[in-house]
Structure 1
Amino acid sequence: MEYHNRNMASSDLEDLCFHINTKISTIKKTLQLRNIGQEPSLKSMLCKIGHEMVLLHDLLNKMEMEVQQQEKLKNLLKELQKSAERDQNEAQHLRENIPSHLPKPTQSCITGLTVKCEEQTKAVEPERAKKPTKESRLIKEAALITTEEFQSVPAYMKGRLTYDQINAVVQDMNKAVVGKYKILHQPLKSMNGAVRNLYHRFLEEETKDTKGEFFIVEADIREFTQLKVDKRFHRILNILRHCQRVREVRGSRLVRYVIC
């Protein structure tokens, strides 16, 4: 036991001596370096080294700023990639769900009660062409909304409304327009009592602002279509006004939807 204690004491003493010697060696090296720094021949070299250290420090700062810029650019590219992926998914969805009709903005939707193409018009007898009857009068209808116009409608106006839902309302409004003006173009003598009442209502609803225009009111929509005149209908009307398909003329507590 005593031998073991002597060994431990000896080991601790050796470690202490090693530590002290290490410190002494470090002090000697420091003093040597300080003495070397005082030599005139080495001062210019130390100044150059100090200058290079300053330049190196500036270079490191520039590199750090560049790394930060690259990090920002990487984050922007990630956002751009996500946006491109969303656009690609939306384009793929549109490609897989192309509507059955894609009307062009310049497409004319003015149709006649008796639909006639250019070839049929040429085939009509000269006498009949010179004397058009009331049945052949043209009725102006609203053009269907194009996919481009649908995409341009603000999101707060569209909500969850779809392209097909909006055009379905356009078609129903056109049906009401055709139903109304077909009656107005009929000879008065050929009308029964119910149709005659509608005819007189149509005339009473005319104003100086609607002269020469084609318009309907909510009563016409209920009369000629199964469309519900509710909040959803009025939301779609806002979109149709935005797309310049209809405009409103108010008066006598009545809202008239004029076809543009």
Structure 2
Amino acid sequence: MDSDLEQLCSYVNEKIGNIKKILSIRNLGQDPALKTTLSKIGDEIITVNELLNKFELEIQYQEQTNRSLKELWGSLEEERKDVEHLKEHVPPHLPQLTATQSLVHKPALDPKESDKVEEPVLPKKPPKEQRIIKEMHFITMDEFNGVPTYMKSRLTYCQINDIIKEINKAVVSKYKIMHQPKASMSSVKRNLYQRFISEETKDTKGHQFIVEADIKEFTALKVDKKFYVIMHILRHCHRLSEVRGGGLTRYVIT
């Protein structure tokens, strides 16, 4: 009980002391000799506060820049790996050096040996033409800078190109199934194939396109508000167009 009373007395005395200090400072403010000094101190406090606000904005900007650079580095690293993979897996159907080309830099033969010249070997018959799957090109930095600010909001250059990479993944996955012989399809792929065919219209004939179901089937992307904003940007940059009908939006690769 005594202890509680002592704590209460101490608390009350502390508050009284604070009130005395406030009154003392208040009285000092009424002193004409100190008014100028207090006004200068107030001005300095305002200046320091404005400076701190600028520091905070700069820190936020630097943090955003740092995040964007990390995203760009990650994207470039993926591109580097893709290039390395292409170097190690050069497609066999690329044009080969022909017999005529191989003889261009050979020295002139001795006329006496002209009879011994063998007939040039005809190039092998090229393999059956492969069907090309059209992929969307990444946007350039100039294109990104040309997108209106209200349209791209807080989206970064790397975020948009990451979505393009996922869209291309869906396009390639879909049209690999479309180009696959039906006899070799599993039941799952056959069902997908039937869906793909049913979604085609006269307006999509000869074009490659995907729908939201393909995005969900072949990628981990979320079809949310951010996704629709990016699709709007890609239309603005002429990377795709839309064909609507039958309750579906078809994103046609341009």
TM-score normalized with structure 2 length: 0.55
Give the secondary structure class of the aligned counterpart of 2:180.
coil
Larger Rg: 1
- Distance of 1:128 and 1:191 partners within structure 2: 29
- Distance of 1:123 and 1:194 partners within structure 2: 42
1:154 alignment partner in structure 2:
148
1:145 alignment partner in structure 2:
139
State the Cα distance separating 1:131 from its structure 2 match. Answer: 2.6
Gap change, CA 1:169 and 1:192, over 3 Å in 2: same
2:94 alignment partner in structure 1:
120
2:253 alignment partner in structure 1:
259
Segments of structure 1 that go 5 or more residues without pairing to the other structure are: 1-88, 103-114
Alignment of 1:60-139 (within 5 A): 97=69, 99-100=72-73, 120-122=94-96, 129=126, 131-132=128-129, 136-139=130-133
State the Cα distance separating 1:203 from its structure 2 match. Answer: 0.5
Residue 176 (structure 1) aligned with residue 170 (structure 2): yes
- Distance of 1:220 and 1:213 partners within structure 2: 16
Contact preservation (8 Å) 2:170, 2:219: yes
Q: Please, which of 187, 195, 200 is the counterpart of residue 201 of structure 1? A: 195
CA RMSD of aligned residues (A): 3.1
- Distance of 1:238 and 1:150 partners within structure 2: 13
TM-score normalized with structure 1 length: 0.54
Give the secondary structure class of the aligned counterpart of 1:247.
strand
2:243 alignment partner in structure 1:
249
State the Cα distance separating 1:123 from its structure 2 match. Answer: 6.4
Amino acid corresponding to residue 217 of structure 1 in structure 2: V
Residue 192 (structure 1) aligned with residue 194 (structure 2): no
Q: Please, which of 190, 193, 217 is the counterpart of residue 223 of structure 1? A: 217
Segments of structure 2 that go 5 or more residues without pairing to the other structure are: 1-60, 77-88, 99-121
- Distance of 1:119 and 1:191 partners within structure 2: 25
State the Cα distance separating 1:139 from its structure 2 match. Answer: 0.5
1:26 alignment partner in structure 2:
none
Gap change, CA 1:130 and 1:249, over 3 Å in 2: same
Amino acid corresponding to residue 139 of structure 2 in structure 1: I
State the Cα distance separating 1:118 from its structure 2 match. Answer: 9.7
Q: Percent identity?
A: 54
- Distance of 1:118 and 1:185 partners within structure 2: 19
Gap change, CA 1:119 and 1:214, over 3 Å in 2: closer
